[in-house]
């Protein structure tokens, strides 16, 4: 009999990548629609998990966005994410789910963490103000998983692991120039400027911050890799495990890179009156690398795939 796998957030970018990576050959995938299951409703989540009895849970559901979205809607980012993750995690425990992977975020690390950021940096300093609500929600989920492992792990033979990916991008992302993440926002802005034959594109900030970008299928591969580890290996992991590629790039360099791929011939103009976010963010992913996982998709290949996905799913 196939193992049952519940993917919470299966229609999101990470959820779709998980389905591509895991497939249906070895597992029975459980992917309810929002009408079938409201993850913010604790009672619905309890009943659903008791009925379906999944063996594994991937918790990829949640509200995500860029600097503007986080700054403009802190209530939704804190409340929605906290409710969704805590409902799924705690109901999984009550339903005796043995393995769960919670997709947290590297934004949960302090704003001025030593670079590259080690897992031990969590809760050692203040957060970046522009995404504080989102980060606090993610920290809560990390700590709930950690507490469950400490209190019930050895007795019940379970392990709930939080992953800390660097900045994600890839197929299925939201191409929103105001509310989206960095790469899809840049793709949309620069592509539209090319279509309109604009002389320039204005981007937020100074262009100086450095970021590490992880293609979403690489994250799905990492999650599948961790899910398959034996219990003895899992118990040795830090509660928040970094997943990155080990290379970062300035936003200015990234914008120029995307400009060349898209073929935009105008200028990139940075509005330094708008926020930059954290000055640098690159993860120390040596622990997961030493276990045997490493990223496969380079930045050029990943951006080209992402741009082709954008063109395929949008008409101009």
Is 134 catalytic? The answer is yes
Coil, strand or helix at 139:
helix
214 in Cβ contact with 166 (< 8 Å): yes
β-pairing verdict for 27-30 and 3-8: parallel
**Would you give the DSSP letter of residue 225?**
H
22 three-class SS: helix
Q: What is the DSSP letter of 168?
A: E
103 by DSSP, 3-state: which? Answer: strand
CA atoms within 13 A on the CB side of 170: 22
Query: Which residue is it, tokens 């597992």?
Result: 27
Bridge partners of residue 27, in order along the sequence: 3
**Helix, coil or strand: residue 306:** helix
Count Cβ atoms below 10 Å from residue 274 Cβ, excluding itself.
13
Residue 236 DSSP code: T
Angle at 303 between CA 300 and CA 305, to 5 degrees: 110
Q: DSSP class of residue 237?
A: S
Q: What is the CA radius of gyration of the chain?
A: 19
For residue 240, which phi and psi values (nearest 5 degrees)?
-120, 105
CA separation for the pair 189, 310 (Å, rounded) = 12
Choose the catalytic residue: 134, 160, 169, 307.
134
**Phi/psi of residue 74, nearest 5 degrees:** -65, -30
Q: Which residues are catalytic?
A: 134
């Amino acid at each position: 009999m196939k193992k049952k796998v519940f993917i919470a957030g299966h229609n999101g970018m990470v959820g779709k990548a998980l389905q591509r990576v895991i497939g249906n050959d070895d597992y029975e995938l459980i992917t309810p629609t929002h009408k079938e299951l409201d993850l913010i409703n604790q009672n619905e989540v309890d009943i659903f998990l008791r009925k379906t009895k999944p063996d594994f849970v991937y918790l990829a559901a949640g509200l995500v966005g860029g600097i503007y979205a986080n700054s403009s809607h802190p209530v939704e980012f804190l409340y929605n994410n906290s409710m969704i993750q805590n409902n799924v995690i705690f109901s999984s425990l009550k339903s005796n789910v043995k393995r769960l992977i919670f997709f947290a975020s590297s934004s949960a690390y302090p704003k001025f963490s030593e670079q590259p950021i080690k897992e031990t940096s969590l809760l050692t300093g203040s957060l970046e103000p522009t995404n504080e609500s989102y980060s606090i929600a993610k920290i809560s989920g990390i700590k709930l998983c950690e507490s469950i492992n400490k209190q019930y792990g050895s007795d019940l033979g379970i392990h709930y692991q939080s992953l800390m990916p660097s900045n994600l991008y890839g197929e299925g992302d939201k191409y929103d120039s105001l509310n989206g993440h960095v790469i899809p926002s840049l793709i949309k802005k620069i592509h539209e400027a090319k279509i309109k034959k604009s002389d320039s594109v204005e981007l937020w900030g100074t262009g100086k911050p450095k970021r590490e970008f992880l293609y979403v299928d690489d994250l799905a591969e990492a999650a599948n890799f961790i899910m398959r580890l034996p219990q003895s290996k899992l118990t040795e992991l830090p509660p928040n495990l970094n997943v990155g590629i080990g290379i970062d790039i300035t936003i200015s360099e990234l914008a120029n890179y995307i400009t060349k791929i898209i073929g935009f011939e105008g200028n990139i103009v940075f509005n330094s009156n708008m926020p930059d976010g954290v000055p640098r963010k690159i993860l120390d992913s040596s622990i997961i690398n030493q276990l045997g996982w490493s990223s496969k998709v380079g930045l050029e290949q990943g951006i080209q795939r992402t741009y082709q996905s954008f063109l395929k799913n949008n008409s101009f």
